[in-house]
Structure 1
Amino acid sequence: MKRILTTAILAAGVAIAAGVAQADTSDKKIALSNNYAGNSWRQAMLKSWEKVTGQAVTDKVVAAADPFTTAENQVTEQAAQIQNMILQGYDAIVLNAASPDALNGAVKEACDAGIVVVSFDGIVTEPCAWRIAVDFKQMGKDEVLYLAQKMPQGGNLLEIRGLAGVFVDDAISSGIHEGVKENPQFKIVGSVHGDWAQDVAQKAVAGILPSLPEIHAVVTQGGDGYGAAQAFKAANRPTPLIIMGNRQDELAWWKEQKDAGGYETMSVSIAPGVSTLAFWVAQQILDGKEVPKDLTVPFLRIDQDTLETNLETTEKGGVANTEYSLDDAQKVIAGAK
């Protein structure tokens, strides 16, 4: 018995020396707090979460990984949701937030209760939380830089924004406007909110088109490109260069136009599977790993020569995607250090 105990102590000492965390997360419960599910990106995000976390629960990495989505994109409703998660005894909350700062009070309550909070996509500014995001501002700016290459003469732009009040919408729009400021040959002559949904974008574009001059290009945020194309078609107006957002219907439409007449554009978005990276980051924090508060992942861009490859691997009604493993998360964490 003494020899067994000594061996166990030695093994523990070796593990500590090697930097292996001693925490066990098999009894830990993680919740997903999601503020919105009304478009294909959010549906793909939830599907990726269920796929990856479901396997993690089966493998007893964690005890639970329950997703919750509010009925409306309302801060008060999501704050109440977070408070319920605190009462339900979750060890970590993975959060796609309705606001970067209006949820900070609820997030601080969770932190004060000893709960790990990892925000992604729609991140929060509360210092106690972790944040995972792409450089959304640069993503918006890259759209204009692409247009400057394709259309050096410039032209009129229509901007389709996302969900009003959400950090992502503000950041991408800020990047677009910065790009236009640096490339004054372009002019934004109209702006609408498409809520990252094709049907909403189509109605919004249809409503503003009659008041607009000729549009040479449409800058977008994702989930709105196909709807914009349909609005221009219905109005019998020339189809401009429309930046796409990695949705399958957008990529399929782009492929049709490319085959028919060589239509050229690009497509860019954050991968919906970033929710799975946030899950693994939360798991690693619970497992005692040291994780920087801010993690950045690259956005997923599709160009003319990679269109067909990405379309083939994107399911109908879905979004071009990347899902993350524990190993991927560990590499992202190590890179941030």
Structure 2
Amino acid sequence: MKFQPLRCALLSSALILLPSFAALADTSDKTIALSNNYAGNSWRQGMLASWQQTTEKAVKDGLIAGADSFTTGENQATEQAAQIQNLILQGYNAIVIDAASPTALNGAVKQACDAGIIVVSFDGVVTEPCAYRISMDFKQSGIAQMDYLAERYPDGANVLEVRGLAGVSVDELIHSGIVAGAQKHPKLKLVGSVNGNWSQTAAQKAVAGVLPSLPKIDAVVAQGDDGYGVAQAFTAAGRPIPTIMFGNREEELSWWKKQKDANGYQSFSISSAPSISSLAFYVAQQLLDGKELPHDLLSPALSVTQDTLESSLKGVEKGGIVSQVYSIEDVAGLKTSSAQ
């Protein structure tokens, strides 16, 4: 198995805030590794770039001794589990994980905990109790999309769902929110579902393949890095462009703005910030520094509306994604949640 270092360029919760922290040098001899399961879209690339930027500064400032990132083959849980075992043998003091599966890595995670290693999972979290979890309320983000569509289409709408990578917890949670939203708003009819794999090209191909068998589509709910591909599929098929939910990617938002300027196109966009990796790093560092934190934490979602589209696009480089800068002080602002 090949493990290659990869170096590259909110909702609902219990309102329990954590104590204020200071960046101490008590972890100056510690090392932290990132285990990532997938790097095939702009969100993941932004996440890895944020990790690199944050950890390079932390090492330069003497906050930690070293930090590395490792990415497996595309969403291979068995390979990622073996990678984590390899990181244990290499002696890292903490391992931060964006997991391929909420359960398939639990054995390796437990081995790390038993070896005295801090494990922090984020985005794609693990269910092993000894690990820490940081995630957006992904289920609520699915409900939020359906709430928006219920306001746009009070008389009802046919909705196509574009899902992410099969088997990943993020996909399951957002899907559960979409289903809950359909139950909440029975006039919104889910008439089809495809896997877009969080990829513009994969989403375009999947939607193009299913469109001939579908009735008129009024709206598309999605998970991110797929909205532009969905629009391209409808355009190529010569079908009316539906209301597409976006995931804060520059390509999606730029297309939305072009349509808004041309014909008043309306939409909504929501995603977690790829810089959540830097937040996970600071949580790991604070735990190594002896701070006590809850095992389940929520990070805020970032949304773009019709009114904030232009301001949200400012400063987002081509191919990038709307994000924010996190610091060590932001750990104190995280809210606790029940495990998802």
TM above 0.5, yes or no, is: yes
Equivalent-residue separation in structure 1 for 2:166 and 2:172 (angstroms): 8
CA offset at residue 323 of structure 1?
2.5
The TM-score, its normalising length taken from structure 1, stands at 0.92
* Corresponding residue SS for 1:32: strand
- Residues 19 and 300 from structure 1, CA distance in 2 versus in 1: closer, same or farther, beyond 3 angstroms? closer
Cα offset for 1:182? Answer: 1.2
The higher radius of gyration belongs to 1
| Rounded Cα–Cα distance in structure 1 between residues aligned with 2:202 and 2:97 | 25
Query: Whole-Å Cα distance in 2 between the matches of residues 258 and 240 of structure 1?
Result: 13
Is 1:171 aligned to residue 176 of structure 2? no
SS state at 2:308 partner: helix
Alpha-carbon distance in 1 for matches of 2:174, 2:221: 10
Shift of 1:19: 9.7
Q: Distance in 1 between matches of 2:211 and 2:170?
A: 25
Determine the structure 1 residue equivalent to 2:132: 130
Question: Would the aligned equivalents of 1:156 and 1:214 in 2 still touch at CA under 8 Å?
Answer: yes
Give the corresponding residue for 2:97: 95
AA aligned to 1:171 is L
Larger deviation: 104-113 or 313-322? 313-322
Q: Is the contact made by 1:21 and 1:287 (CA closer than 8 Å) also made in structure 2?
A: no
In the alignment, the residues of structure 2 paired with residue 19 and residue 231 of structure 1 have an alpha-carbon distance, to the nearest angstrom, of 48
Structure 1 equivalent of residue 253 of structure 2: 251
Residue identity matched to 1:122: G
Contact 1:97 1:123 in 2 (8 A): yes
Distance 2:323 2:308 in 1: 14
Residue aligning to 2:322:
320
The residue type paired with residue 220 of structure 2 is: V
Equivalents in 2 of 1:65, 1:273: separation in Å?
Answer: 16
Letter in 1 for 2:224: G
Percent sequence identity over aligned pairs: 64
Q: Which has the higher helix share?
A: 1
Render the CA deviation track for 1:4-38: whole Å, top value 9, x for unaligned: xxxxxxxxxxxxxx998988101100000000000
Which aligned pairs between 1:169-248 and structure 2 lie closer than 5 A? Answer: 169-248=171-250
- In the aligned structure 1, how far is the partner of 2:25 from the partner of 2:73? 36
1-structure distance, mates of 2:32, 2:24:
19
Any unmatched runs of 5+ in structure 1?
A: 1-17
Give the structure 2 partner of residue 291 of structure 1.
293
**Which residue of the other structure, out of 80, 83, 99, is the alignment partner of 1:81?**
83
Residues 303 and 138 (structure 1), Cα distance of their counterparts in 2 relative to 1, 3 Å cut: same
Whose relative contact order is higher, 1 or 2, with alpha carbons under 8 Å and at least 6 apart?
A: 2
Q: Deviations over 1:141-165 (max 9, x none)?
A: 1100000011111111100000100
Distance 2:41 2:91 in 1: 30
TM-score (norm 2): 0.91
Q: Is the 8 A contact 1:23 1:288 kept in 2?
A: no
> Deviation digits for residues 166-214 of structure 1, max 9, x if unmatched?
0000000000011001111111111000011101100000000011000
- Tell me the amino acid that sits aligned with residue 68 of structure 2: D
For residues 211 and 280 of structure 2, the distance between their equivalents in structure 1, rounded to whole angstroms, comes to 39
- Consecutive unaligned residues of structure 2, counting only runs of 5 or more, are 1-19
For residues 58-94 of structure 1, the C-alpha deviation after alignment (integer angstroms, 9 at most, x for no partner) is 1110111101000221111000100000000000000
Aligned residues: 318
| C-alpha RMSD of matched pairs (Å) | 1.5
Q: 2:24 and 2:276 mapped to 1: Cα distance?
A: 27
- How far 1:331 moved relative to its partner? 2.6
